[in-house]
Amino acid sequence: MEERHLNHLEPLGPLYEMAQNQFLKAAELIDLEENIKNFLLWPQKILTVHFPVMLDDGRVQMFVGYRVQHNTARGPAKGGIRYHPNVNLDEVASLAFWMTWKCAVMNLPYGGGKGGVKVDPYKLSERELERLSRRFFSEIQFMIGPNKDIPAPDVNTNSKIMAWYMDTYSMNVGVTTLGVVTGKPVDLGGSAGRAEATGRGVAIVANEAADVLGMDIRNTTVAIQGFGNVGSYAAKIISEEYGAKIVAVSDISGGIYNADGLDIDDLIKYRDENDGVIKGYPGGEPISNRDLLTLDVDILVPAALENAITEDIARDVRAKIIVEGANGPTTAEAEKILLEKGIFIIPDILANAGGVTVSYFEWVQDLQSFFWDIDDIRKKLKKMMVREFGEVYKTMKKFKTDMRTAAYIVAIDRVASAVRKRGYYPM
């Protein structure tokens, strides 16, 4: 047979390549067939949109946004939309790729998707933010739908924006369609417990990790980078419900350290009264981002953006457990160093999967028009996260590998099984 290049697609960027390498490490350990490997390495659909938004002063500004569906073998695409000045296709594609594995690790009937708009939302007025959100959603709408692709909040997007998305879609199709996005307000088809879900999941797996390492979480200290939705709920739940001591927290404005433990409710209240940032909080001393990441704590939770823990920082990290609240916070080089130091890393695709898990609950509730109470949600989330943590931990032992590779193995197994049974259309 003539020789052919079976995998000659254009590279998407350095972050996507790092994500592909994480996948390949696991694929090799389980001898994944070439055909499936080639298929799963690439996103299925990529959409770039350039769209106009009228500013309050009457000028029109152009924006760029993306929606990527990595793989839909197990179900409709699922994943958030972020607003950030550094958004680009490499990032959105990587985040979509991770969503495929995150949904599969949790055994949710979804594939992976992600979206983003390159914008600093803090520079827009409320009306401009609404116009941008509604126009972007209209632009990507042909790819979206409750059985096709279901967006959700991510960095700098929230329930208010999800309500605009839901309304925009509903107006365009002429039918109120609650199941088209998750993370909506609770009185508009949202789910109890969705806002706290990612942070709660981080707390649940941190507790599981402490357990398997023979530590009592009540005697642990914790540092958290990022005090947005994920970081603040993780801080609250790890301290209030699990009894750990949060000694440091940071956000874009800086960090706060208190060896006796921070009062998280008080810090959240301060943030909400001070333009959403913790700078100047009187209950602790200032601490730099680097010093926070390298603090002598038991548990470190990077809950901000990608590439937070670099090689240089990794050398000085002293935590015993890292729980990746953010997506992609550890670079490949950094991870190598951390693993050599014996640090236990709970990877993003497991650690922050609580959010999409309760998004799944929200979607099911929307489709059935039957809503559950908060106790049911919390109980189900905990059960699923404990079960899949156990699955990944067992796989780590079996393959004598790290937790990230083990999580990929569990996820790849599930996605590959779907691909084998569905085949490659047309056969």
Which residue number, 159 or 182, has a Cβ lying nearer to ligand GLU?
A: 182
Restricting to residues 160-189, which ones interact with ligand GLU according to CB under 6 A? 182
Restricting to residues 283-312, which ones interact with ligand GLU according to CB under 6 A? none
Binding residue (CB under 6 A) for ligand GLU from 91, 128, 149, 154:
154
Contact range with ligand GLU by CB under 6 A, out of 74-82, 138-146, 159-167, 203-211 = 74-82
Q: Which helix (H) or strand (E) holds 245?
A: strand 245-251
Binding residue (CB under 6 A) for ligand GLU from 72, 100, 159, 352:
352
**80 lies in the binding site for ligand GLU (CB under 6 A):** yes
Q: What is the DSSP letter of 424?
A: S
Beta strands in 258-297 (DSSP E): 285-287
The site for ligand GLU, by CB under 6 A, has a size of 12
The count of other CB atoms within 10 Å of the CB of residue 140 is 20
Catalytic positions: 114
Which residue number, 264 or 350, has a Cβ lying nearer to ligand GLU?
A: 350
Q: Which residues pair with 150 in a beta bridge?
A: 78
Binding residue (CB under 6 A) for ligand GLU from 74, 78, 134, 271:
78
Give 141's Cβ-side CA count (13 Å radius).
Answer: 17
C-beta of residue 105 within 8 angstroms of C-beta of residue 410: yes
Which residue number, 121 or 355, has a Cβ lying nearer to ligand GLU?
A: 355
Amino acid occupying residue 334: A
**152 lies in the binding site for ligand GLU (CB under 6 A):** yes
Spatial separation of the C-alpha atoms in residues 1 and 62, rounded to whole Å: 50
Which residue number, 352 or 395, has a Cβ lying nearer to ligand GLU?
A: 352
C-beta of residue 348 within 8 angstroms of C-beta of residue 326: yes
Sheet with 344-346, strands from edge to edge, namely: 285-287, 254-257, 245-251, 221-225, 299-302, 321-323, 344-346
SS3 at position 112: strand
**196 lies in the binding site for ligand GLU (CB under 6 A):** no
Q: What angle do CA 147, 148, 151 make, to 5 degrees?
A: 100
Q: Which residues pair with 248 in a beta bridge?
A: 223, 257
Shortest distance (Å) from residue 403 CB to ligand GLU: 17
Close Cβ partners of 287 (under 8 Å, ≥ 6 residues apart): 248, 250, 254, 255, 256, 257, 295
Question: Which residue in the shown chain puts its C-beta closest to ligand GLU?
Answer: 80
**231 lies in the binding site for ligand GLU (CB under 6 A):** no
SS3 at position 391: helix
Give me the 93-112 binding string for ligand GLU, x by CB under 6 A, dash otherwise: ---------x----------
Which residue number, 102 or 118, has a Cβ lying nearer to ligand GLU?
A: 102
Q: Nearest Cα to 183, choosing from 199, 195, 172?
A: 195
Which residue number, 152 or 205, has a Cβ lying nearer to ligand GLU?
A: 152
The first and second tokens of residue 203, run together, are 């707390």
Contact range with ligand GLU by CB under 6 A, out of 76-84, 221-229, 313-321, 371-379 = 76-84
Contact range with ligand GLU by CB under 6 A, out of 209-217, 283-291, 350-358, 399-407 = 350-358
Restricting to residues 324-343, which ones interact with ligand GLU according to CB under 6 A? 327
**191 lies in the binding site for ligand GLU (CB under 6 A):** no
The first and second tokens of residue 349, run together, are 């695709």
C-beta of residue 404 within 8 angstroms of C-beta of residue 19: no
Which residue number, 190 or 284, has a Cβ lying nearer to ligand GLU?
A: 190
**246 lies in the binding site for ligand GLU (CB under 6 A):** no
**193 lies in the binding site for ligand GLU (CB under 6 A):** no
Contact range with ligand GLU by CB under 6 A, out of 21-29, 170-178, 236-244, 355-363 = 355-363
Spatial separation of the C-alpha atoms in residues 244 and 242, rounded to whole Å: 6
**355 lies in the binding site for ligand GLU (CB under 6 A):** yes
Contact range with ligand GLU by CB under 6 A, out of 273-281, 291-299, 335-343, 348-356 = 348-356
**79 lies in the binding site for ligand GLU (CB under 6 A):** yes
C-beta of residue 193 within 8 angstroms of C-beta of residue 200: yes
Q: What angle, rounded to 10 degrees, do the helices at 354-368 and 89-105 form?
A: 70
Summarize as ranges the residues that interact with ligand GLU (CB under 6 A): 78-80, 102, 152, 154, 182, 327, 352, 355-356, 359
